[in-house]
Structure 1
Amino acid sequence: MVHQIFVLLAALSCCFCCGTLAIENKDQHLRDLPCPPAEDIQPCVCTVIDSSTYDIEMDCSSVTTNDELASIFSKDFPYNDFFSLEIKNNFHLTTIRPGDFGQKTFQQIHILGGSLKTVEYRVFNSSYDTLTHLDIDNTNLDSFPFTELMLFTQLKYLRLGNNQLHGFPTLTSSSLQYLYLHGNSITGIELNSLPLLEMISLHNNSITYLLPGTFTDLPNLYYISLGYNGLQVLEAGTINLQTSSNNVYLYNNDLTSIAEGALVGLKGGYLSVENNQLTELAEAVFRLPMDDGVDVHAYGNPLDCGCEIAWLVTSDTYMNLLDDDASCTSGELVSELDPDLFEVIC
């Protein structure tokens, strides 16, 4: 009788262990989905980044060849729609080719650091209808299929900063809102059709001239960054903004002249002309933005501070909108000039 009881307990224990193991295996299987089996995608790593929506991220930072990348993405996955692709500090890939990502789709792509030089045409063609963010930053990128942008119907954010891009392409996109091309060697700008553009960052390039009309007919544009270029003049009609509050950054250029009508539509934001070669803050240029509440930062310019600045010095309203560090060639701060003197002699 005792022997039979031991046999029964052993059988029950075995069933319990088998059931527990089955549950554990089932749970493990559920934890793997919707990612593919880890061994099928090495050295890429798949992670479920949002358990409520099952958003998945593929990190392929450790791939060593294009063939390896293509082999991974050619396999049958439980799902073909990924939230994001990450490739960081990869010094093996210099080119991304069509077919390297198979038929997989992404909403966001982030390629940060590394040696990437060329993105070929139709590399991300499977994501024409899904891609919202494309971020290739701090690589050696000097070739990118800009003409393909019009095919990405959901693309809102494009960052290609700190690369080796030279000529500025004609850009067309019905969806793009944020464009970051700072830290390249771009020499000219041509914005063709970007009706939803809100922000553009072009600082640290080699832009010496802006065509009149460059920043016009862009009804949503409120942020322009052009610092650390080689701009010398701004002609009438260069910038005409339509938003209720906006910021324009022109610091650290070689500006000697800003024409009347070059800066139109600036309101309630910030205008930066620090560290240029302006000898005056011309009333015809700066009064209108200040009338609309724009803060003007102008330190680091060799201002003559003659009667041409009387309109500014004699108005508390305007002086409150000028930075305290703006100074004259004589070394005096504009904020310390005697307004009564200008009332008398001007």
Structure 2
Amino acid sequence: MATEKTNHHPRDVPCPNAEDISPCVCTVIDASDFDMEMDCSSVSSNTDLARIFSEHFPFNNFYSLIIYNNIHLRTIRAGDLGQISFKRIDIWSGNLQSVETNAFLHSYDTLEYLEISSNMLTAFPYSEISMFNHLTTLNLRSNQLGGIPTVASLTLQSLYLNNNPITGINPSSLPLLYTIGLSFTAITHIPTGTFSGLSRLTNIDLTNNKLEVLDPGTINLQTSYNWVYLTTNSITSIAEGALMGLRGSLYVQNNQLTELAEGVFRPLMDMDVTVYAESNPLACGCEIAWLVLNSVYVDQLMDDTTCFSGELVRNLDPDVYASLCH
């Protein structure tokens, strides 16, 4: 993604000499504090990149590095970026396969945002993340990262691993984590306690995975308002106690739930959770009477939630359930 600052003002000072760093381009993107952006989208090789960053730079502290749509770089090596530090690094839509440990060494005390998305990463130095003292966002969407990443950081607030063939995650060492993106992965199961003990966790996206069962203790949130996305999995069963601490919205559309079990969903609705449950084969027998007979609960069931028969849940006749379900 592009840098968030606007009002670009190209100029020579404080940038390096333009000819020395070509084909990279240095731009002052904020004239008030001389924030510099380095766009190296057109470099032809690691040798080219390393040569540029070995040139004379009057100032070493840059706001951002951009490498966009570059088909030549396969790795970022330690030393390729010389002595330069960045607050933000964006590398997207390329063929990058790996990042060496210490590749961003001189940004340990400055980097706040790191994105390497829509590349071909098969390896990433997760163990180095704890060395970045101000990093708040790590975005590694749309790569080829597998396994179960272990990420530790005292500052990280947003972690995006969407669209990677990872099989799990261990976020327990991320005390400030606010949002985690894990959609379109190869996750089939979430061990008990995976999303527990994270006092600031507010947004969990597990859309489009291969989940079938949610065990007790799968998610236990502590924030005052939160969102959990479980849309488009193959969930057939949610155990009581699997979804604790929800106080916002739960998305379970397009799964294989045959019932909205009272022991699971009634406690959520008692906490004013809004439930999105469209496109599930709900039987809508007496097991759903607890909901149909309470208009407040019916109002908390959103979207066009239907029974297996196609009838809208909100149109079910409560008199029928009052008469036949005891």
For residues 282-302 of structure 1, give each alpha carbon's deviation from its aligned partner in whole angstroms, at most 9, with x where no partner exists. 111111121111110111111
Larger Rg: 1
Aligned residue pairs total 316
Structure with the larger helix share? 1
Letter in 1 for 2:282: L
Pairing of 1:93-108 with structure 2 (within 5 A) = 93-108=73-88
For residues 82-127 of structure 1, give each alpha carbon's deviation from its aligned partner in whole angstroms, at most 9, with x where no partner exists. 0000000000001110000011000000001010011111100111
Given that 2:11 and 2:27 are in contact with CA atoms closer than 8 Å, whether structure 1 keeps it comes out as: no
Given that 1:231 and 1:255 are in contact with CA atoms closer than 8 Å, whether structure 2 keeps it comes out as: yes
- Verify: 1:37 aligned to 2:14, yes or no: no
- Verify: 1:311 aligned to 2:287, yes or no: no
- Verify: 1:301 aligned to 2:280, yes or no: yes
Given that 2:179 and 2:203 are in contact with CA atoms closer than 8 Å, whether structure 1 keeps it comes out as: yes
Pairing of 1:126-145 with structure 2 (within 5 A) = 126-145=106-125
Letter in 2 for 1:62: S
Distance (whole Å) between structure 2 residues aligned to residue 319 and residue 57 of structure 1? 52
What is the aligned partner in structure 2 of residue 278 from structure 1? 257
Query: Deviation of residue 324 (structure 1)?
Result: 4.2
SS of the residue 2:133 aligns to: coil
Distance (whole Å) between structure 2 residues aligned to residue 174 and residue 54 of structure 1? 29
Distance (whole Å) between structure 1 residues aligned to residue 85 and residue 172 of structure 2? 28
Letter in 1 for 2:170: E
Q: Pick the aligned partner of 1:51 from 15, 23, 31.
A: 31
Distance (whole Å) between structure 2 residues aligned to residue 155 and residue 40 of structure 1? 30
SS of the residue 1:203 aligns to: coil
For residues 8-42 of structure 1, give each alpha carbon's deviation from its aligned partner in whole angstroms, at most 9, with x where no partner exists. xxxxxxxxxxxxxxxxxxxxxx9411100101100
Pairing of 1:54-73 with structure 2 (within 5 A) = 54-73=34-53
Pairing of 1:195-234 with structure 2 (within 5 A) = 195-234=175-214
What is the aligned partner in structure 2 of residue 173 from structure 1? 153
Given that 1:105 and 1:130 are in contact with CA atoms closer than 8 Å, whether structure 2 keeps it comes out as: yes
SS of the residue 2:93 aligns to: strand
Quick one: percent identity of the two aligned structures?
A: 57
Given that 2:277 and 2:303 are in contact with CA atoms closer than 8 Å, whether structure 1 keeps it comes out as: no
For residues 51-87 of structure 1, give each alpha carbon's deviation from its aligned partner in whole angstroms, at most 9, with x where no partner exists. 0010000000000010111111112211000000000
Given that 2:172 and 2:194 are in contact with CA atoms closer than 8 Å, whether structure 1 keeps it comes out as: no
Given that 1:120 and 1:145 are in contact with CA atoms closer than 8 Å, whether structure 2 keeps it comes out as: yes
Please give the TM-score of this superposition, normalised by the length of structure 2: 0.95
SS of the residue 1:107 aligns to: strand
What is the aligned partner in structure 1 of residue 7 from structure 2? none
Letter in 2 for 1:117: Q
Query: Deviation of residue 169 (structure 1)?
Result: 1.5
What is the aligned partner in structure 2 of residue 344 from structure 1? 323
Letter in 1 for 2:55: K
Please give the TM-score of this superposition, normalised by the length of structure 1: 0.90
CA RMSD of aligned residues (A): 1.0
Given that 1:324 and 1:334 are in contact with CA atoms closer than 8 Å, whether structure 2 keeps it comes out as: no
Given that 1:84 and 1:108 are in contact with CA atoms closer than 8 Å, whether structure 2 keeps it comes out as: yes
Distance (whole Å) between structure 1 residues aligned to residue 95 and residue 11 of structure 2? 34
Letter in 2 for 1:278: L
Distance (whole Å) between structure 1 residues aligned to residue 154 and residue 119 of structure 2? 27
What is the aligned partner in structure 1 of residue 4 from structure 2? none
- Verify: 1:123 aligned to 2:103, yes or no: yes
Distance (whole Å) between structure 1 residues aligned to residue 126 and residue 303 of structure 2? 43
Distance (whole Å) between structure 1 residues aligned to residue 11 and residue 35 of structure 2? 13
Find runs of 4+ consecutive structure 1 residues off by over 2 angstroms: none
Given that 1:279 and 1:302 are in contact with CA atoms closer than 8 Å, whether structure 2 keeps it comes out as: yes
